[in-house]
Structure 1
Amino acid sequence: MSNAERPAEWGGLPTFEFPLLEEDLPESLPAADAVAWRITVEGYYDVDLGQWAATFARFAEVVDLSQVRALIVGIWPQAAIPDNNKPNTEAIDTLVAAADRLPALRALFIGDMTWDECEISWIVNSDVTPLLRAFPRLEEFGVRGGGSLAFPAESHSVLRRLVIETGALSREVVRGVGESDLPALEDLDIWLGDPEYGADTEVSDLEPFMTGVRLPALRRLALRNSAIQDEIAAAFASAPVVARLTELNLSLGTLGDEGATALLDGQPLTHLAKLDLHHHYISAPVAERIRETLTAQGVAVDLSEGPDDRGDDYDDEEDGRYVAVAE
């Protein structure tokens, strides 16, 4: 399954797709600082290398780069595995080279492709941290696609939001994020994915997020779309970081009664503004216990897309469970 959707906004701005290279430019375009500009090519098998860079060059000719606040990278040539099996860094290289012309950039998303453009498991990324170094004022950064994705430990004093959406994430990326110095980060959202597609994170790799020592400003934490969601829930039932969160998100994965019960029996969660567990395998009695315990205390609990909603037969065993986003 794949329900990674195109963001309607990024950096607090509505998205606007810049015309494809082969399309005519409209008579007028939005103000440079009024939208999150999505720059893309059409297709990923039959487009030559250099097409994304050429589209960006055209964009730079008609839009004042010095005023651009948000950018979204859509499809780039050979976004799927190229013949030489090496990640294509065209979009990253182009943006890094243009960094001095983008002084106002505060929000950047890489790999905005939906399933009909490129399945999330087919997206081939690379090391994205050169973008963080090139844009020290960046406040929001997102990336979709775990193939060849690298995120070695990095320092960034301004970044407030980090989103990593994958159907299968390498534990090396998880460790790199966990070892990074991100003192301003308030919102962390990581999709761990399915082992059948290469996800190999273990709960021990999440220790930096449990303590939150390197993330002093963290208030919203999502560790989701995971096949080990029960184990994650059990670990975070006593994790120190939870006490200072306003939102905890364990959605999109294989969470069942074991993990949900561990959360309820662990540290109090009544201080949360929101607990997101949607797409789960929790039985009706345990789901009702969650509602009775937390909703009455003002916690917004999302238990949508349970087994009954999807038409699944409830099975307390893990066989047959699936994450929401894999292929």
Structure 2
Amino acid sequence: MGVYQHLEEYAGLPVATFNEDTDAAETEEEGDGRGAAGAALPPAGEAAWFVGTSFDEEAFGDVFARFLGTVDTSEVTALIIGYWGAEYDSGAADPVALLTEAAASFPKLRALFLGDITGEESEISWIEHSDISPLFAAFPGLERFDVRGSQGLALDPIKSDALRVLRLESGGLPAAVVRAVGASDLPNLERLDLWLGEENYGGDATVADLAPFLGGERLPALRHLGLEDSEIQDEIAAAVAGAPIVARLESLSLAMGILTDQGAEALLSGQPLTHLRKLDLHHHFLSDAMVERVRAALPGVEVDLDDQVKQDDDWRYIAVSE
């Protein structure tokens, strides 16, 4: 799924939609769970629940309140927050505040996606956030957390023994957020994905900001690292080539960014990558010759080199920006 489609599965569960079209009188019976008018809702613990509204429709706060009153949230383990409005929308809300206020209603929550918002609803750079730090205190049992968008996004260093998956999708991730992740105490984190983006959309992190992830002293359980969607992808590749963390990874992603032959050369000239199960480089600017070199150098590794961008000039672009 990309940023132009809503999730159909999350945290191993099918998605059930609760939105402005969902009838509060619907009962928890077996149904298609897609939130269409008149469709029955599934048992609370058997779905990942999408809660959202649409532009100029019912206010998100009202939809969320109906959700709390309709679904047995004490059984909900996975929650997806969709469109909640924007500053130009009279029904805009702060989902972090609503979630933290309702935390006691979600004792079993283990997975949270903040911002399953498609490009048709809002460009990723327009999604308006606040400080997401309170969510980790409100839901200490979170094992997975995903967030899309970065406008106004703030984060303090966090501590969590439960968190295993952390994914931040953006067209421009602020350096302060990257540093906060790097300073966090996450001893059981297994998967980390950061869409770093470009400076025009707030992505001002440098390779130096990635040192806590690359040095190997932190994140002892990490098995997948994604440093993606970056306009400095070549610099990141060069840093990764000698990074101690790589030796214990099972998969590595430098996809979606402006990776050229220079970055690929650095990878091939660095430490061995043959232990990896997968290397994801999709959306890249490698020459045909370099594509073949990468494949030949890693015969036992699943290497994703899809979406090769051929160019006639020096203009290059990341996969997701605005």
TM-score (norm 2): 0.91
Which residue does 1:325 correspond to in 2? 320
1:32 aligns with 2:30: no
Which residue does 2:242 correspond to in 1? 238
Which residue does 1:211 correspond to in 2? 215
Contact 1:21–1:55 (8 Å) recurs in 2: no
**For the residues of structure 2 that align with 1:133 and 1:277, how far apart are their CA atoms?**
35
Which residue does 2:305 correspond to in 1? 303
Aligned to 1:59, the other structure's residue is in SS state helix
Contact 2:52–2:60 (8 Å) recurs in 1: yes
Which residue does 1:94 correspond to in 2? 98
Given candidates 73, 80, 104, the residue that maps to 1:72 is: 80
Contact 1:184–1:216 (8 Å) recurs in 2: yes
Contact 1:251–1:279 (8 Å) recurs in 2: yes
Structure possessing the higher relative contact order (Cα contacts under 8 Å, 6 or more residues apart) = 1
- Counting only pairs closer than 5 Å after superposition, residues 171-190 of structure 1 correspond to structure 2 as 171-190=175-194
1:122 aligns with 2:120: no
User: Deviation at 1:214?
Assistant: 2.0
Aligned to 1:17, the other structure's residue is in SS state strand
* Runs of at least 4 residues off by over 6 Å: none
Q: Partner letter of residue 32 of structure 1?
A: A
Which residue does 2:31 correspond to in 1? none
Single out whichever of 25-34 and 241-250 deviates more from structure 2. 25-34
**For the residues of structure 1 that align with 2:93 and 2:195, how far apart are their CA atoms?**
22
Single out whichever of 170-179 and 207-216 deviates more from structure 2. 207-216
Q: Partner letter of residue 83 of structure 2?
A: I
TM-score (norm 1): 0.90
RMSD: 1.8
Structure 1 residues 145 and 156, CA, compared in 2 at 3 Å: closer, same or farther?
Answer: same
Which residue does 1:12 correspond to in 2? 12
Identity %: 50
User: Deviation at 1:197?
Assistant: 1.9
Contact 1:52–1:90 (8 Å) recurs in 2: no
User: Deviation at 1:267?
Assistant: 0.2
**For the residues of structure 1 that align with 2:111 and 2:120, how far apart are their CA atoms?**
25
User: Deviation at 1:8?
Assistant: 2.5
**For the residues of structure 2 that align with 1:34 and 1:170, how far apart are their CA atoms?**
36
**For the residues of structure 2 that align with 1:293 and 1:22, how far apart are their CA atoms?**
53
Contact 1:174–1:206 (8 Å) recurs in 2: yes
Contact 2:16–2:41 (8 Å) recurs in 1: no
Structure 1 residues 290 and 60, CA, compared in 2 at 3 Å: closer, same or farther?
Answer: same
Structure 1 residues 122 and 286, CA, compared in 2 at 3 Å: closer, same or farther?
Answer: same
**How far does the alpha carbon of each residue in 1:116-145 deviate from its partner, in whole angstroms, 9 at most, with x for none?**
000001111111111111001110001000
Q: Partner letter of residue 66 of structure 2?
A: R
Given candidates 250, 272, 277, the residue that maps to 1:273 is: 277
Which residue does 1:161 correspond to in 2? 165
User: Deviation at 1:208?
Assistant: 0.4
Unaligned runs of 5+ in 1: none
Contact 1:47–1:77 (8 Å) recurs in 2: no
Contact 2:19–2:53 (8 Å) recurs in 1: no
**For the residues of structure 2 that align with 1:196 and 1:4, how far apart are their CA atoms?**
21
1:285 aligns with 2:289: yes
**For the residues of structure 2 that align with 1:230 and 1:13, how far apart are their CA atoms?**
36
Aligned residue pair count: 308
**For the residues of structure 2 that align with 1:27 and 1:112, how far apart are their CA atoms?**
22
Aligned to 2:46, the other structure's residue is in SS state coil
